[in-house]
Amino acid sequence: MKLIVGLGNPGEKYARNRHNIGFMAVEQMAADHGFPAWKGKHQGSVTEGRFGSIRAVLLRPETFMNKSGDSVAAAMRFYKLEPEDVIVLHDELDLAPGKVKFKMGGGHAGHNGLRSIHKHLGPNYGRVRLGIGHPGHKDRVPGYVLHDFSKADADWLDDVLRGLSDGAPYLAEGDNAKFMNAVSLRTAPARPSTGTKGPAKAAAPTAQAPQTKEPTEPHDKQSALQKLMARFK
């Protein structure tokens, strides 16, 4: 079994915030893979189902970001899981918008949700880092992450969420390469290849009617006096 956690803050006020991309991701997975309705448990909302042969629990902690670890630890104890069975999806300031990376273990890099989870689980759990970009200065970070995605973000955000959902079965299986490939097929689809075809032939020139060259008069080099004398010869 896998416990797949999406980080965010509860409530409609925060629903479209950049900080809530983890919530959005697990909600997309649940909807696409036929998981049942969410239920309130373990200081959060959960839904249980399967990705192929792998049983999985999707969790949205509702303790607010700074206490996410309380909910994750409660669910982990209930299902008798180890930290290695937990995968957390979270916003990542240090990745460009639309970029996704998987890592196992490591630090929390100042992310309050991860910091809280570290206190309960230690560092040895999986993370899916979801790039949202950086506002440029650390003082602007709180307002940036607690602000809604803009209309300009809509296309790449949809691609990322659908890619994560496509790759969820591989994520549950622990096949991280296939998971990342599934995401990439949505976020950076391969361009059509020309294969063995040679370069396109240039279009044949359009036939044009031959142009008739206008006769030109010889350049008259005679002076006015010479012309006058010629008239009297």
Q: What is the pLDDT of residue 21?
A: 98
Tell me, yes or no, whether 110 lies in a domain: yes
**Tokens 């790039």, residue?**
131
Alpha helices, DSSP H, located in 122-201: 141-145, 154-173, 176-187
Q: What is the pLDDT of residue 167?
A: 98
Q: What is the pLDDT of residue 200?
A: 53
Which tens digit of pLDDT belongs to each residue from 202-228?
Answer: 555 554 545 545 444 444 545 555 555
Active site residues: 19
User: What is the phi/psi pair of residue 57, to 5°?
Assistant: -115, 125
| Neighbouring-strand partners of residue 50 | 55
CA distance 189 to 183: 9
Q: What is the pLDDT of residue 189?
A: 82
Which tens digit of pLDDT belongs to each residue from 120-167?
Answer: 999 999 999 999 999 999 999 999 999 999 999 999 999 999 999 999
CA distance 167 to 208: 58
CA distance 202 to 199: 9
The DSSP output letter for 197 is -
Nearest partner of 32 among 152, 168, 158, 139, judged by Cα: 168
Tell me, yes or no, whether 106 lies in a domain: yes
Lowest-pLDDT range of 121-125, 171-175, 228-232: 228-232
Tell me, yes or no, whether 223 lies in a domain: no
Q: What is the pLDDT of residue 146?
A: 97
CA distance 179 to 169: 8
Average pLDDT over residues 13-34: 98
Task: Name 155's Cβ contacts closer than 8 Å, sequence gap at least 6.
Answer: none
Q: What is the pLDDT of residue 190?
A: 72
pTM of the predicted model as reported, rounded to 2 decimal places = 0.81
Pair of tokens at residue 85: 């069975």
Tell me, yes or no, whether 38 lies in a domain: yes
Pair of tokens at residue 16: 């479209």
Inform me whether the pLDDT recorded for 173 exceeds 70: yes
Tell me, yes or no, whether 169 lies in a domain: yes
Q: Are strands 86-92 and 100-104 parallel, antiparallel or unpaired?
A: unpaired
Tell me, yes or no, whether 143 lies in a domain: yes
The DSSP output letter for 20 is G
Tell me, yes or no, whether 136 lies in a domain: yes
Q: What is the pLDDT of residue 36?
A: 98
* Structural domains counted in the chain: 1
Q: What is the pLDDT of residue 218?
A: 47
Stronger pLDDT, 194 or 62, i.e. the higher one: 62
175: domain range? Answer: 2-187
Inform me whether the pLDDT recorded for 180 exceeds 50: yes
Say which CATH number the domain at 119 has.
3.40.50.1470
Q: What is the pLDDT of residue 26?
A: 98
**Tokens 């973000």, residue?**
153
Tell me, yes or no, whether 29 lies in a domain: yes
Inform me whether the pLDDT recorded for 193 exceeds 90: no
